[in-house]
Amino acid sequence: MSPARDRNAPDARSAPTSLAARLAHLEGDLDRIATDGLRPAMMAVALLFTVFAIATPFIFPEPSQIPCVIYDVVLIAISLALYLICRRTTLSPRQVHIAGTAVSLGVLGNILMSGAMGANPLFSFCVGILLIASAGTMLSAVWALANAAIEIVAWAVMAWMILPASEIQPNVMCMAACFAVAFIVHVSRNVATVRILELRDGDARRERALQQALAEADEARRELDRKVEERTAALRNELEERERLEEQLRHAQKMEAVGQLAGGIAHDFNNLLTVIRMSHTTLAETDGLAGDTRDVLRDASEATDRAAALTRDLLAFSRKQSLQRAEVAVSDILGSVERMIRRVAEAGIRLEVRAGPEIGDVIADRHQVEQVLLNLAINACDAMGVRGTLTITAEAIELSDGDAGRHRVRAGTYARIAVSDTGTGMDEVTKRSVFEPFFTTKEVGRGTGLGLAVAHGIVTQHGGQIEVESELGKGSTFTVLLPRARGASPRAIVAAAQPLAAPARETLLVVEDEAAVRRAVQRNLERLGYQVIAACDGEDALRIAASLDGIDLLLSDVVMPGIDGPELACRLRERWSDLPVLFVTGYSADRLSRSGAVGPHDRVLEKPYQKADLARTIRQMLEARTSRVAAAG
């Protein structure tokens, strides 16, 4: 099992020379591991030299027995003292290294003394064992190398003094082998230490996460108990509460199913509208059309545009529509909302719309903001019934840090749009719950309880805030704050761009599983001068591409059976790495962007698109590719 580690965490296989620095966050564990390694070593030294002290009278000549026994007793005392210290406290790695070095040098002196007295013919073997043992107790490579250097140099001097020349080479080989074993032991010990520390760190993080999760769960349970008690006190009995929740669940499932259906219908409808738009464009470019025929085509194109707006509504309802942010005048939004409200409001409701002269522009998805304001206005009309006054005002305001904090937004300039009514108003309980999903005061069947929750989400997604002020019996005011566009300036009227024809016969591979869309796109691109090769799906496109020397651009639908657009683009780029790809989709562009399939030189068009948009996008991508090739050459 491999515990999760931070990207900057050290690799357990790297050299252990900077172990303490690389694992500073586990310093406590490192201290304990170092101390635990020193304690048995000290006990072993104490026991070993106890045996040596007992055996000294039988090994050493009588004049040297007393110094040797004293030496052994001192080592025993030091070792036992360090053992007891390790049992009572935790030493730092530096303290462990100092203690281990001191004992190692003491043992080395004993070995060399016995060798000098002629009582230890195997002193080279003993020094080798000491070399391995001291390397195993050291966590720092620097300390381990220093100890090894001292032990090897001391052995070399003693070996040169007392060993005959014929025994020097075998003893050198023995010491070299011991040094290699010591190196392996030291590295293995440090690798194992790193692994142990990582496992302990993972266990500690999991334990903290578990404790936090348990605390959050306990807090959530207490909060849930409190809410259940509050709700139960307001209900007649448990059966009514259960029935209400079950009805909400059924309603939510129904809305989810309708949303899925609406999204699917919008996707298919976008394919149909693409064919219709491209066909209208082809007919409109035909010479010699009568005036009434052109009028008919213009009406049909306008109807197609309205149908495209309807599909955007369906995608927004199913929450598959991306925000199309642009700089838009607040006065334009209010004018559009005013026209829509007048169509749905009762004749007895008076509508007043006022906008300040400096209201300016906002960076927003106009359709979504209009949906929010229309939703607020319809709710206001429902609250007033057949008679009352609906007022919509807009003004520019500047929020300081303090004011912005109270409104839960950032400091800056905002457009404040207020929707006020003279309806029934709301009490405090209703005001606290008004933005909660599924909360509604309307009778069953008239409201989903999602309108204000969705409006709140749209406004906050734009970086704004929505607030409510209401008094029972006197009406309500919903205030929407939207960040103003910085450096807003009057927008110039830009003439509609004409389709850009191909200056050369570039080759385009068009992949679209809808036959009508495929034919319409191929027909219009060929009229622009491109050489178009059409494929009905991803597999067909790969078969066609295998017989081609190259293509200039891939135009592919995103969602197709089998190999989809992103996978097809990746597989073709294995052969042509600089291939630009234009993705077209009946869903939102956000869906493809979040997948990570769109490269830096790729583009995305949402269906139904205009021929001019298609031609201009293709031309820009091809010219950009030509520029990249020229720059690389």
Q: For 566-595, write each residue's pLDDT tens digit.
A: 889 989 988 988 899 999 887 655 556 555
Which residue, 428, 451, 483, sits at the end of a domain?
Answer: 483
The arithmetic mean of pLDDT across residues 155-181, rounded, is 76
360 located within any domain:
yes
- Please report where in the chains the tokens 């002193």 appear, as a residue: 123
292 located within any domain:
no
Residue-level pLDDT at 547: 92
CA distance 450 to 237: 26
pLDDT tier, 6 (very low <50, low <70, confident <90, very high otherwise): very low
Residues in the chain: 633
68 and 136 housed in the same domain: yes
Distance of CA 593 to the CA centre of its chain: 14
Name the domain count of the chain: 3
The arithmetic mean of pLDDT across residues 179-201, rounded, is 74
β-strands 475-483, 465-471: how paired? antiparallel
- Please report where in the chains the tokens 């942010």 appear, as a residue: 325
Which residue, 150, 180, 205, sits at the end of a domain?
Answer: 205
Range of the domain at 425: 325-483
335 and 405 housed in the same domain: yes
262 located within any domain:
no
pLDDT above 80: residue 208: yes
436 and 523 housed in the same domain: no
Residue-level pLDDT at 22: 44
Residue-level pLDDT at 72: 73
477 and 531 housed in the same domain: no
pTM for this predicted structure: 0.41
464 and 536 housed in the same domain: no
CA distance 322 to 312: 9
Tens digit of each residue's pLDDT (9 = 90 or more) over 434-479? 766 555 665 544 555 556 767 777 787 788 888 889 888 888 999 9
460 and 606 housed in the same domain: no
243 located within any domain:
no
431 located within any domain:
yes
261 located within any domain:
no
Which residue, 205, 224, 243, sits at the end of a domain?
Answer: 205
Distance of CA 94 to the CA centre of its chain: 41
pLDDT above 90: residue 542: yes
Residue-level pLDDT at 553: 94
pLDDT tier, 382 (very low <50, low <70, confident <90, very high otherwise): confident
CA distance 20 to 140: 8
Choose the weakest-confidence range: 268-282, 411-425, 514-528.
268-282
Residue-level pLDDT at 280: 67
475 and 516 housed in the same domain: no
34 located within any domain:
yes
Ranges assigned E (strand) in 445-488: 465-471, 475-483
Distances from the Cα of 330 to the Cαs of 103, 355, 415, 561, in angstroms? 83, 8, 8, 43
Higher-scoring residue by pLDDT: 406, 294: 406
450 and 537 housed in the same domain: no
Helix (H, G, I), strand (E, B) or coil at 288: coil
59 located within any domain:
yes
454 and 540 housed in the same domain: no
Q: What is the CATH number of the domain that holds 558?
A: 3.40.50.2300
Listed in sequence order, the residues at least 6 apart from 426 whose beta carbon sits closer than 8 Å to its beta carbon are: 434, 441, 468, 470, 472, 476
With a pLDDT cut of 90, the percent of the chain lying above it is 9
Tally of CB atoms within 10 A around 59: 14
48 and 131 housed in the same domain: yes
